[in-house]
Amino acid sequence: VTLHLNPISSVHIHQKPLVFLLNSPLPLVWKLKTERLAPGIRRVFLVSLGSVVQFEKGNFSLSAEMEEKFFPEKNEHLLQWAQKEYGAVTSFTELKISRNIYIKVGE
């Protein structure tokens, strides 16, 4: 699955830390494609067991982290866990089948 990340239109270059929880019942390879995300900013990708994130070559991969996690099975439990762990959830998306996911990040 390719995860496309770019800032909302009102933000020229996104310069804040991000945390993504990428959960799947089956192990996946998450391919990351980014545009206009500032280098050197911490970005964390938590993936379900057996999954991996393939970062693009270049500066982005130097400040990005990937960690395998055991996530709660049901979406409502996952959402509660994320809120407890990180204090806030700004976006939650569930997809049954997808090869590309487009996410706009920003204020």
Task: Give the model's confidence band at 48: pLDDT under 50 very low, under 70 low, under 90 confident, else very high.
Answer: very high
pLDDT of residue 39: 87
The pTM of the whole model exceeds 0.85: yes
Contact by Cβ (8 Å): 45, 64: yes
Residue 80 pLDDT exceeds 90 = yes
Sheet strand arrangement including 100-105: 52-54, 29-34, 2-7, 100-105
